[in-house]
Amino acid sequence: MRARARLALVGLAVLIGATSTAVAAPASTALEAVGRGNLLAYTAGIDIDQDGMFAAGTPEEEGTDIWVRDVTGATPPVMLNRPNSVADVTPSFSPDGTKIAWASRDTPTGTLDILVKTLSTGAVTNLTNSGSADERWPSWSGDGTRILYNRRTTPTSNLDIWVTNADGTSQRYLAGKIGDGKFYEDCCASFTTDGASIVFASNRTGQFDIYRYDLAGAGSRERAKYLTRLTYAPWYQGTPAVEARGTVVYRNASDHQIYRLDPFRAPAQAPTAVRVPGQVRTPQGTPDGRGLVFGWRPGPRQALDIILTDRFGANPVNMTNTRVITETNPTWQPKPPRP
């Protein structure tokens, strides 16, 4: 399997060659590639303080856009949304590869809502349309019927995890420490492959660790017996993502590397490190389970590029290769079903 993954990555590197800073084109141009599984979407902007992230509610986040790139190079990269001066962040492809969900402040009230764009038509739907709450980090269920997201109901409330049907109906609380104070943050959730649990990061013990919550306990409040803490560390461990194989990848801040765990065997089974030279942000698995895609930089205080490797972190390919623009939160298009 490792040899096959390396061959696939080498072939992809030949296809795309060296890349450069994205240049705007009509929003429909690159999205005509829908149906081939060749699209890569990511958040891009200027990381003003060079900390490797776009901090929520800051001027640097308000300058972000989401770009969609055809990795074969057949069409130029384009912005997912119309040009604006507000935040567009955290894209997520639907499991059939035909839609992208993301968080945008390009809304009637200026709050962050979860939007969904149908790639074949360009139609955009505001799923949450809350009018007052801020929502981020959408993530689809494997069957495409539900979307997880973060929600801060008021400017002073904690950050919780909510879920909605894919058409925007039945929006409801799922997990998190409900209340005011803005201290507790439960973030960046994704469904396990069976759809029966979610994996997320939480700072409820003082710093971020990875947790699993079994949805049999879903209700108006968390139920402790359905919650499992998967990591224990005195430093940040966050932005978890469930891979196609069912394992979870996340970022460990002590060494800025990717770690992988089994969400149903941890913490008894220790996580394993995926070593990549440099510093990593927001890792995701590729839809076929054979690769990883993530934000990367060679060292501190530098812009991030999007890097593709095999699932072991080997054979890196720089997918964006920009010097000033920071790119992060990548999502790779699953190959849509044939008509």
CATH number of the domain enclosing 35? 2.120.10.30
Q: Is residue 291 part of a domain?
A: no
The count of structural domains within the chain is 1
Instruction: Label residue 167 by pLDDT band (50, 70, 90).
Output: very high
Q: Report pLDDT for 28.
A: 44
d(CA 176, CA 162): 9
Does residue 149 lie in a domain region? Answer: yes
pLDDT score, position 339:
63
> Which residue is it, tokens 């839809």?
287
- Can you give the residue range of the structural domain that contains 201? 24-269
Q: Is residue 308 part of a domain?
A: no
- pLDDT: which is higher, 113 or 180: 113
pLDDT digits (tens, 9 = 90+) for 1-24: 333 333 344 333 333 333 322 323
Give the rounded distance of the alpha carbon of 165 from its chain centre: 19
In a domain, 290, yes or no: no
Residue 238 belongs to a domain: yes
Residue 313's closest CA among 251, 264, 265, 266? 251
> pTM above 0.85?
yes
Q: Does 339 fall in a domain?
A: no
Residue 158 inside a domain? The answer is yes
125: closest CA among 168, 71, 80?
Answer: 168
14 within domain boundaries: no
